[in-house]
Structure 1
Amino acid sequence: MNTILFDLDGTLLPMDINHFLDLYFHNMGKHFYNWTDPKLLAKKVLQATEVMIQTNDGRTNEDIFMEHFDTLIEGDIDAYKEHFTTYYETLFANVQASTNQSKEMIEAVQILKEKGYTLVIATNPLFPYRANIHRINWAGLNPEWFTHITSFEENRYSKPYPEFFQEVLDKIGKQPEECMMVGNDVFDDLPAAKLGISTYLLTDCLINTHDLDNTADYTGSYKDFLAFVKQLPHV
């Protein structure tokens, strides 16, 4: 093993996901206040996101999202796209209040980097690249430490589909046996095992909304993961 694929929300970036989503849509509603009803906007964003996750036709997530979102709104989709971009550079910053930092995960990433591991942000690509960069910074980490960061603009598949993990492997030029997926969501992250990627399930912000079998190769807290990383060899 020489490569670690990290989920972001609830993994490198501790959070209460419900608080995060509440602040996310509250601030988005404020940003679009003169455009549309905030509650309707949230509903439309969620609808388009679900279509994006379920559509695996080779187009980027951004293209799929915007095509469907365009059918739900009145007005110019290009103007909406520009306003979404502005949101992520302004009021999205308020969403940081729903997140924390983990000193154990920060140290673990630093140790892995020093030991020569390839580090990848394999977050579900539902957000634009800039939003992912912001959240990496909120976690107390340097985006430049990561060889690749998945994103809404570039990726063509989403979790939990195995094609998402294959897309990441293809992008970074790695084989499954070289990689470990570290995440906190049973439904989204553990399917990496279907490709032969080893898995580490973090329990501090554990999500198992479907009450699935949560058997992973390794399971533990942030503190446990740091201890695990400390005993890994250099590569």
Structure 2
Amino acid sequence: MYIFLDYDGTLIKNKEEDFQKYYFYSFLNYTNIKDKKIIDIILECTKELIKKNDRKENNLDFYMNLLAKKTGKSQEYWYNTFFDFYEKEFPNLKNIIIPNKKLINKIKKSNHNFIFASNPVFPEIAINHRINFINLDLNDFIYISTMENSYFCKPNPNYFLDILKKLKIKPADCIMIGDTDFDRASLKVGIDFIHISEEDKWESIL
């Protein structure tokens, strides 16, 4: 069995909007960017990334290009700014993370194949930290979605189809565990969905 796992609200108990508050506070504080309007621009770019529906650029290139256009600063500037933040300051956000210990313990003891299926709006360096935040290892997953290896985001069915194709697996052999309608979109490609609140269901499977 192949288990797709969401992160915010699933592998961790923090909801995405709660994590965002700490994330942006930390980002502005570390980068010393004074114009708080940048947060609105970042969120706007993220929304456009989620709606993206072509393969012209991977998610990271698309996002950096868009951010450069909207701010008038170069892609290189934003790339260096974000990656410096992810390398040096982002790891400190581990302090606010509330791991879903019951689910994580099940994963550690399970023989199933796990896919890290958080929406790919973070680059690999940040995703690796997020996995470390909950004391899991990169090797606990057979596939990890990142901005670099993705061209689509949930709830676009192509997000799931790309992973199925890469891993050469069938929807009938998969389950998505998550907490939002973005995760429930797995049903559109034939992957069963279990809400994280349905503990009896995912406990019996894992």
> Could you say whether these structures have the same fold, taking a TM-score greater than 0.5 normalized by the shorter chain as the test?
yes
| Identical counterparts, % of pairs | 26
- Describe the SS at the equivalent of 1:126: coil
For residues 102-130 of structure 1, the C-alpha deviation after alignment (integer angstroms, 9 at most, x for no partner) is: 22112210222xx3x22110110001111
For residues 54-77 of structure 1, the C-alpha deviation after alignment (integer angstroms, 9 at most, x for no partner) is: 121212111211111111223332
> What is residue 20 of structure 1 aligned with on the other side?
19
- Describe the SS at the equivalent of 1:62: helix
Matched, 1:41 2:38: yes
Mapping of residues 77-88 of structure 1, within 5 Å: 77-88=75-86
> What is residue 160 of structure 2 aligned with on the other side?
165
Higher helix share: 2
For residues 52-99 of structure 1, the C-alpha deviation after alignment (integer angstroms, 9 at most, x for no partner) is: 111212121112111111112233320220121010112212322331
Partners of 2:15 and 2:183 in 1: CA distance: 18
Partners of 2:27 and 2:201 in 1: CA distance: 34
> What is residue 194 of structure 2 aligned with on the other side?
200
Partners of 1:192 and 1:88 in 2: CA distance: 29
Structure index of larger Rg: 1
TM-score with structure 2 setting the length: 0.93
> What is residue 91 of structure 2 aligned with on the other side?
93
2:108 to 92, 107, 110: 110
TM-score with structure 1 setting the length: 0.82
Long gaps (5+) in structure 1: 204-219, 231-235
For residues 180-221 of structure 1, the C-alpha deviation after alignment (integer angstroms, 9 at most, x for no partner) is: 111111x21011011111111112xxxxxxxxxxxxxxxx13
Instruction: Write the letter of the residue equivalent to 1:45.
Output: I
| Counterpart contact for 1:10–1:184, Cα < 8 Å | yes
Long gaps (5+) in structure 2: none
**Displaced runs of 4+ in structure 1, greater than 4 A?**
none
Q: CA deviation at 1:38?
A: 4.5
> What is residue 212 of structure 1 aligned with on the other side?
none
Larger RCO, structure (CA 8 Å, separation 6 or more): 2
Alpha-carbon RMSD: 1.6
Alpha-carbon distance change, 225 to 140 in structure 1, aligned in 2, over 3 angstroms: farther
Matched, 1:191 2:185: yes
| Counterpart contact for 2:10–2:100, Cα < 8 Å | no
